């Protein structure tokens, strides 16, 4: 089988024979001959029954050529000559290690380094000023109000502001903008810097203001502990780790070089989910501390979790024997609801945990939570794909 040289200028290779000489490498073809110094070698790999040699172009140092050859004898000769010229033994050993051994070593190194690497990422947010979070909140608050129907009822906004002020710690550097959006979505979420979005469907499900206080304390905890920024740093950091770790040493191996999307999927579905569970657990812990400092009972927080489990996780009558789909814990973005209920019960059952209320009766809360007066969105969201 004849050797091939790809010069990067055309898809049609030069066909000929690779020769390893004492001082240089020579590729001989009918149309043209090429000569290279051993110092020009960028990478040498054995892939299956063929060998791939990447060499820096003598005409243009920014370009490289690839030679595919099949002689084990030539491979060993080039390997030996290259090793004799490299001044860094470890680099020489790595560059000429078998492809599959490289892969195994990199995977092992990634596993061992992962915990140390992510510990470092966990503290990287200390170098990011809180002004970064606040700027994100300013942008996102405006975006939410532009594209969604915000409840503008003075009574509802006043209640949100009152509960938020009650829960805010003295050492908390953020100001909270609690936005209630009219939508049949059972959810609430926090964004870096102080923006909290609560949907009316969640609001309607609360029976007491203390239940909402527990939810808001949890979302404020995400912001106070800067989980949004920490998650951004960790996600980007792990995409970089995977890209560099898996890509290093495999230049010219197209199957690995074109796996950028896989790196991102791995990071989001496994690593990022793991971080989410950690942050959710920490937010529950900090939320209970916030309620305690505000002299508020944690019963509402507990009742809210119990209602979530009852209404959204417990099979309806007649469905007990049906096989349910359960997301594996390592892919779930939240801890198991049962675990969260047990944790909250354990904390609020302590003798020193307060029993205070917000001062809003249940009857008054029933009236307030149904207030909305939705404003019409200023802008209409358009999917950019619709224009394609």
Give me the residues paired with residue 190 across strands: 196
Average pLDDT over residues 298-305: 94
On average, the pLDDT of the chain sits at 82
pLDDT band at 192; cut points 50, 70, 90: very high
- Model confidence pLDDT, tens digit, residues 231-267: 888 777 766 766 665 555 444 455 544 555 554 455 4
> In the prediction, which pLDDT does 129 show?
93
Average pLDDT over residues 155-170: 95
Average pLDDT over residues 319-342: 62
Which H helix or E strand runs over 46? strand 41-47
CB 66 within 8 A of CB 252: yes
Average pLDDT over residues 380-384: 69
The rounded percent of the chain whose pLDDT value lies above 90 is: 47
Q: Is 83 helix (H, G, I), strand (E, B) or coil?
A: helix
pLDDT band at 323; cut points 50, 70, 90: very low
Q: What residue ranges of the chain are covered by domains with CATH 2.30.29.30?
A: 3-96
Listed range (9-13, 252-256, 353-357) with the worst mean pLDDT: 252-256
> In the prediction, which pLDDT does 284 show?
94
> In the prediction, which pLDDT does 59 show?
77
Q: Is the pLDDT of residue 216 over 90?
A: yes
Give, as one character, the DSSP assignment of residue 331.
G
User: End-to-end distance of the chain based on CA atoms, in angstroms?
Assistant: 47
pLDDT band at 90; cut points 50, 70, 90: low
DSSP assignment string, 142-202: HHHHHHS-BB--HHHHHHHHHHHHHH--TT-----EEEEE-SS---EEEETTTEEEEEHHH
Q: Is the pLDDT of residue 185 over 60?
A: yes
> In the prediction, which pLDDT does 107 show?
74
Listed range (20-24, 56-60, 76-80) with the worst mean pLDDT: 56-60
For domain 3-96, give the CATH number. Answer: 2.30.29.30
Which H helix or E strand runs over 245? helix 227-247
Residue with the bigger pLDDT between 47 and 158: it is 158
Q: Is the pLDDT of residue 187 over 70?
A: yes
Q: Is 56 helix (H, G, I), strand (E, B) or coil?
A: strand
Alpha carbons 230 and 195: distance in angstroms, whole number: 16
Average pLDDT over residues 276-299: 93
> In the prediction, which pLDDT does 322 show?
46
CA 333, chain centre distance (Å): 11
Q: Is 180 helix (H, G, I), strand (E, B) or coil?
A: strand
Average pLDDT over residues 348-376: 94
Rg (CA), the chain: 30
Handedness of CA 314, 320, 324, 326 (dihedral sign): positive
Q: Is the pLDDT of residue 37 over 70?
A: yes
Average pLDDT over residues 162-180: 94
Listed range (104-113, 155-164, 232-241, 260-269) with the worst mean pLDDT: 260-269
> In the prediction, which pLDDT does 320 show?
52
Alpha carbons 98 and 85: distance in angstroms, whole number: 19
pLDDT band at 371; cut points 50, 70, 90: very high
């Amino acid at each position: 089988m004849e050797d091939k040289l790809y010069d990067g200028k055309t898809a049609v290779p030069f066909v000929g024979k690779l020769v390893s000489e004492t001082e240089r490498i020579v590729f001989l073809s009918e149309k043209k001959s090429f000569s290279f110094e051993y110092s020009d070698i960028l990478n040498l790999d054995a892939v299956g029954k063929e060998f791939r040699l990447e060499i820096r172009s003598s005409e243009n140092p920014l370009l490289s050529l690839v030679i595919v050859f099949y002689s084990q004898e030539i491979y060993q000769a080039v390997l030996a000559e290259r090793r004799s010229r490299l001044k860094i033994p470890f680099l020489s050993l790595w560059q000429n290690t078998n492809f599959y051994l490289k892969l195994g070593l990199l995977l092992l190194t990634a596993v061992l380094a992962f915990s140390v690497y992510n510990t470092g990422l966990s503290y990287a947010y200390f170098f990011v000023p809180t002004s970064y979070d606040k700027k994100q909140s300013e942008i996102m608050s405006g975006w939410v109000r532009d594209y969604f129907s915000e409840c503008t009822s003075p009574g509802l906004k006043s209640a949100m502001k009152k509960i938020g002020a009650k829960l805010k710690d003295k050492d908390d550097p953020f100001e909270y903008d609690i936005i209630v959006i009219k939508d049949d979505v059972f959810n609430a979420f926090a964004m870096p810097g102080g923006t909290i979005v609560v949907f009316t469907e969640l609001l309607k499900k609360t029976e007491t203001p203390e239940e909402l206080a527990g939810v808001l304390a949890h979302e404020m905890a995400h912001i106070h502990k800067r989980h949004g920024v920490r998650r951004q740093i960790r996600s980007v950091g792990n995409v970089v780790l995977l890209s560099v770790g898996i890509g290093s040493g495999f230049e010219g191996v197209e199957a690995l070089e074109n796996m950028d999307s896989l790196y991102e999927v791995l990071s989001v579905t496994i690593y990022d989910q793991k971080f989410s569970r950690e942050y959710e657990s920490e937010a529950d812990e900090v939320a209970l501390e916030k309620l305690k400092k505000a002299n508020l009972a944690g019963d509402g927080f507990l009742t809210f979790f119990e209602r979530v489990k009852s209404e959204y996780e417990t099979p309806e009558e007649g469905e007990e024997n049906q096989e349910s789909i359960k997301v594996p814990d390592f892919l779930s973005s939240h801890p198991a609801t049962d675990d969260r209920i047990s944790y909250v019960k354990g904390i609020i059952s302590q003798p020193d945990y307060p029993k205070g209320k917000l001062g809003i009766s249940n009857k008054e809360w029933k009236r307030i939570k149904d207030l909305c007066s939705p404003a019409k969105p200023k802008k209409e969201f358009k999917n950019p794909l619709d224009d394609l």
